């Protein structure tokens, strides 16, 4: 009889009443009414994700053994949810009684991460692998990033994903952070603007986007346990600034709290960050979820303003339930979180009851990926106009990653794509003749080297030992080809930082020897050597930067990497990418070097460089890098004219400029506007202890201009870009406007 009543309620929930009271309906009635109608169990179910029967053990403390992960039998009646979309990172509990559907969340920054195949189904569910975060930021083009966000959002929408777990915008504090490939920049304005563009793109599909990882998650070493000790000023001006910009400019549906602690409190328990700043100051009106299996107490997290705990554990469920029952957690706080979640869920496709067809336009999205990839590549060196290469040239392609190209990093930022275009394939597609002997030798070498390794997966991609190039091979190649293209590849991924070692930060001895052999052979034959850096971040270049004729930083540019590389090498696309991070002469020049990945105590990192992160630190110490932040060459030249700076009453500035392509190739130009610190600050009026010598306050990119063509750019710079956070007054304080264009 009871079952019958429940079934009837379920079928006609809007009109059927329980004990005379009409049940409110999610999506129809005010959220407050829905929350009021929920039982305590339903509320706790909603705030804890569904993956509760999976046992996950975070990385053990140094020296302790790894514990194995796996599934345990769940509690009766609460079977583990496989979710609606296979391979999605998590989902929420449905409450059918009130019309609350299950919401699906999937990674990630470079494309939707779901399983490509499903047991018993012939259909495939591939997603496009777009350029990773650093490559996107290097476009300095919010329109390109918006187009990528839109395309990723359409795939999410077609595959039934409601909330995308991206973008990731942590500051690149150290070049060794393992997830820098997912992140945007060492500069908060560039990072925040890119994130905002991405969010707008994703959310234009009605799919939610998630800013992550909030905040100060700048390393993977001990990522669950590390405590970042950072001043309020550095928090406000550097580490939170990008999040603030993205929240204010793009209204993301969700924010994911980080794993680490900030000044002694783990991010998901950090009320100061989650409630006081995020909601209190920035008016964030979405919901906050934890990062997966984050440390901390469910009840404390709930009280701190961490609305949802993902992917959910029974421990968290019990902690919240018991705390409400024993009065240590005010149920009003739980209700507040439930309401935050439901308000956001109501805007998602499932929340609106929309269906989906599993049929995204992967062909159109691959075009978007290729365009973004080419736009982000950074030409670092081009002596004697080595590039572009004319079609029909014979190319000696060296380096494993020319043949087994790295297109994305490992971990949650990986994408199950249908294919990847390796560099040798991209060159061939563009009518460049790749030396067939070298190609055969490399493909054989890679096949043999990988023969015994397990199949690549999300968490590990096997990288074969670099093939040794013999002098004979190099001499023969130099005789038969017009140019050498020498690829250096670096893989990186979630859960480990990169190492200050040969083969990672430095060239490996084999790579170094190969470069010398190739350089000597091609130099002697008066033929150029072009180096491609196929990696998500940067590496030591001081040792070898002087050697090649041209250097192109290709990044991990997604499944179309090979084609995009060819677009740039042949001049189909003139390079217009700019560095979103500094390439130092020595690792120790990075301001974070002495406090990364920890200070004297493992587990604590003192952010002693304070606000002087990246170029701000190089400027302060007056250290020349190999290539500075914002650097990048083009195949054409530009002229600037009619620069006008118009101040407004509220402190905002309008900047106008005419940019003309004065060269012979079509190309796009990036305008970077920095504010310079006054040389002699008037300390009575202006009490900043120290200001960075310069800081980025705005940037803009032209469209592709034909030779002779001019574009007028108008850049509006909000007043708060000319300010710093004053710790004493706990408020932003204005600094004088002194704009410098780069
Ligand atoms: C990562 C997040 C990701 C989540 C879900 C975590 O390991 O840090 O960025 O969204 O997993 O896959």
555-589 pLDDT, tens digit each? 999 999 999 999 999 999 999 999 999 999 999 99
pLDDT at position 51 is 84
Predicted confidence band of residue 15 (pLDDT cuts 50, 70, 90) = very low
- State the pLDDT confidence band at 19, using cuts at 50, 70 and 90: low
Binned at pLDDT 50, 70 and 90, residue 458 comes out as: confident
Ligand 1 neighbour 165 (Cβ under 6 A)? yes
Distance between Cα 166 and ligand 1 center (Å)? 9
- pLDDT band for position 10 (cuts 50, 70, 90): very low
pLDDT at 684: 54
pLDDT of the residue at 153: 98
Is 212 a pocket residue for ligand 1 (Cβ < 6 Å)?
yes
Q: Answer whether 89 contacts ligand 1 (Cβ < 6 A).
A: yes
- Mean per-residue pLDDT over the chain, rounded: 93
Residue 454 in this model has a pLDDT that exceeds 90: no
Out of 89, 412, 495, give the residue to mutate to test ligand 1, the one with the largest number of ligand atoms within 8 Å of its CB. 412
Q: What percentage of the chain carries pLDDT values higher than 70?
A: 92
DSSP classification of residue 194: H
| Residue 143: count of CB within 10 angstroms of its CB | 12
Please tell me the predicted confidence (pLDDT) of residue 527: 98
Residue 72 predicted with pLDDT over 90? no
Phi, psi of 111 (to 5 degrees): 145, 165
**Whether pLDDT at 60 is above 90:** no
Average pLDDT over residues 326-339: 98
Ligand 1 centroid–CA 209 distance in Å is 14
Residue 67 pLDDT level (bands cut at 50, 70, 90)? low
Supply the pLDDT for residue 690.
80
Distance, CA 180 to ligand 1 centroid (Å)? 14
Mean pLDDT calculated for residue range 715-729: 95
> Ligand 1 within 6 A of 219 CB?
no
DSSP state of 74: -
- Contact yes or no for 582/630 (Cβ under 8 A): no
Question: Stretch 18-37: mean pLDDT, rounded?
Answer: 89
pLDDT tens, 127-155?
A: 999 999 999 999 999 999 999 999 999 99
Residue 58 has pLDDT above 90, yes or no: no
N-to-C CA span, the chain: 76
Among the listed residues 195, 199, 198, the one whose alpha carbon sits nearest the alpha carbon of residue 185:
195
Active site residues: 291
**pLDDT exceeds 90 at position 303:** yes
Residue 581, token pair as written in the block? 């991070």
Report pTM: 0.95
Supply the pLDDT for residue 682: 58
User: Is the pLDDT score of 13 beyond 70?
Assistant: no
pLDDT at 540: 98
Model pLDDT for residues 81-107, shown as the tens digit of each residue: 557 899 999 999 999 999 999 999 999
Q: Which residue has the tokens 């009575």?
A: 684
pLDDT at 78: 46
Give CA–CA dist 400/486, Å, rounded.
9
pLDDT band at 507 (very low <50, low <70, confident <90, very high): very high
Place of tokens 């991460």: 113
Mean pLDDT confidence for 451-474 = 88
Task: Flag whether pLDDT at 455 surpasses 90.
Answer: no
Q: Residue 56: which of 47, 73, 74, 68 has the closest Cα?
A: 68
Q: Is 223 in the pocket of ligand 1 (CB under 6 A)?
A: no
Residue 50 CA to ligand 1 center (angstroms) comes to: 16
| pLDDT digits 0-9 by tens, 613-669 | 999 999 999 999 999 999 999 999 999 999 999 999 999 999 999 999 999 999 999
Q: CA-CA distance, 387 to 731, in Å (whole number)? A: 50
């Amino acid at each position: 009889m009871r079952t019958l009543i429940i079934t009837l309620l379920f079928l006609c929930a809007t009109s059927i009443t329980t004990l005379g009271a009409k049940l409110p309906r999610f999506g129809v009635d005010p959220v407050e009414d829905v929350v009021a109608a929920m039982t305590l169990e339903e509320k706790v179910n909603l705030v804890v994700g569904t993956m509760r029967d999976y046992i996950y053990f975070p990385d053990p403390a140094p020296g302790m053994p790894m514990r194995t992960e796996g599934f345990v039998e769940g509690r009766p009646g609460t079977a583990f949810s496989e979710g609606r979309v296979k391979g999605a990172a998590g989902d929420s509990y449905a409450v059918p009684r009130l019309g609350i559907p299950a919401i699906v969340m999937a990674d990630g920054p470079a494309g939707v991460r779901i399983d490509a195949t499903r047991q018993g189904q012939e259909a495939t569910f591939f997603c496009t692998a777009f350029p990773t975060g650093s490559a996107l930021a290097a476009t300095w083009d919010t329109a390109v990033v918006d187009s990528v966000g839109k395309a990723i959002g359409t795939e999410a929408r077609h595959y039934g994903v409601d909330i995308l777990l991206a973008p990731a915008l942590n500051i690149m504090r150290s070049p060794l952070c393992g997830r820098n490939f997912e992140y945007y920049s060492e500069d908060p304005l560039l990072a925040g603007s890119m994130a905002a563009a991405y969010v707008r793109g994703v959310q234009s599909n009605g799919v939610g986007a998630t800013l992550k990882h909030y905040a100060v998650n700048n390393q993977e070493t001990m990522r669950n346990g590390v405590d970042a000790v950072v001043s309020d000023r550095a928090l406000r001006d550097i580490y939170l600034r990008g999040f603030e910009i993205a929240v204010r400019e793009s209204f993301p549906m969700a924010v994911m709290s980080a794993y680490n602690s900030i000044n002694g409190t783990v991010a998901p328990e950090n009320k100061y960050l989650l409630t006081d700043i995020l909601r209190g100051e920035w008016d964030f009106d979405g919901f906050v979820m934890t990062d997966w299996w984050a440390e901390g107490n469910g009840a404390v997290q709930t009280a701190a303003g961490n609305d949802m705990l993902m992917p959910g554990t029974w421990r968290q469920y019990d902690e919240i339930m018991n705390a409400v029952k024993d009065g240590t957690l005010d149920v009003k706080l739980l209700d507040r979180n439930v309401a935050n979640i439901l308000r956001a869920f109501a805007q998602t496709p499932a929340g609106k009851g929309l269906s989906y067809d599993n049929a995204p336009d992967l062909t159109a999205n691959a075009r978007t990926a290729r365009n973004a990839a080419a736009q982000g590549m950074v030409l670092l060196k081009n002596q004697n106009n080595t590039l572009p290469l004319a079609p029909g040239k014979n190319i000696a392609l060296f380096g494993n990653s020319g043949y087994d190209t790295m297109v994305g990093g490992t971990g949650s930022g990986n994408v199950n794509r249908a294919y990847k275009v390796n560099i040798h394939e991209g060159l061939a597609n563009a009518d460049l003749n790749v030396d067939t002997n070298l190609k055969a030798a490399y493909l054989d070498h890679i096949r043999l080297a990988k023969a015994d390794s397990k199949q690549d997966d999300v968490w590990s991609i096997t990288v074969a030992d670099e093939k040794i190039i013999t002098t004979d091979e190099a001499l023969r190649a130099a005789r038969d080809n017009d140019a050498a293209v020498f690829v250096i590849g670096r893989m990186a991924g979630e859960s480990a930082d990169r190492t200050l070692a040969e083969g990672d930060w430095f060239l490996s001895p084999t790579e170094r020897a190969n470069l010398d052999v190739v350089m000597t052979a091609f130099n002697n034959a008066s033929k150029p050597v072009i180096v491609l850096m196929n990696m998500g971040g940067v590496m030591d270049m001081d040792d070898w930067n002087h050697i090649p004729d041209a250097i192109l930083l290709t990044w991990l540019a997604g499944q179309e990497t090979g084609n995009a590389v060819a677009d740039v090498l042949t001049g189909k696309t003139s390079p217009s990418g700019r560095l979103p991070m500094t390439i130092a002469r020595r690792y120790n020049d990075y301001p974070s070097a002495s406090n990364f990945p920890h200070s004297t105590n493992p587990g604590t990192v003192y952010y002693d460089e304070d606000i002087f992160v990246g170029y701000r630190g190089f400027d302060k110490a007056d250290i020349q890098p190999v290539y500075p932040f914002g650097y990048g060459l083009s195949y054409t030249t530009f002229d600037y004219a009619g620069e006008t700076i118009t101040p407004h009453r509220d402190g905002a500035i309008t900047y106008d400029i005419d940019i003309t392509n004065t060269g012979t190739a079509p190309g796009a130009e990036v305008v970077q506007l920095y504010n310079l610190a006054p040389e002699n600050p008037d300390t009575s009026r202006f009490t900043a202890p120290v200001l960075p010598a310069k800081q980025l306050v705005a940037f803009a990119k032209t469209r592709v201009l034909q030779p002779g063509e001019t574009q007028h750019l108008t850049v509006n710079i909000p007043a708060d870009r000319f300010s710093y956070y004053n710790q004493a007054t706990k408020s932003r304080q204005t600094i004088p406007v002194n704009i410098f264009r780069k």
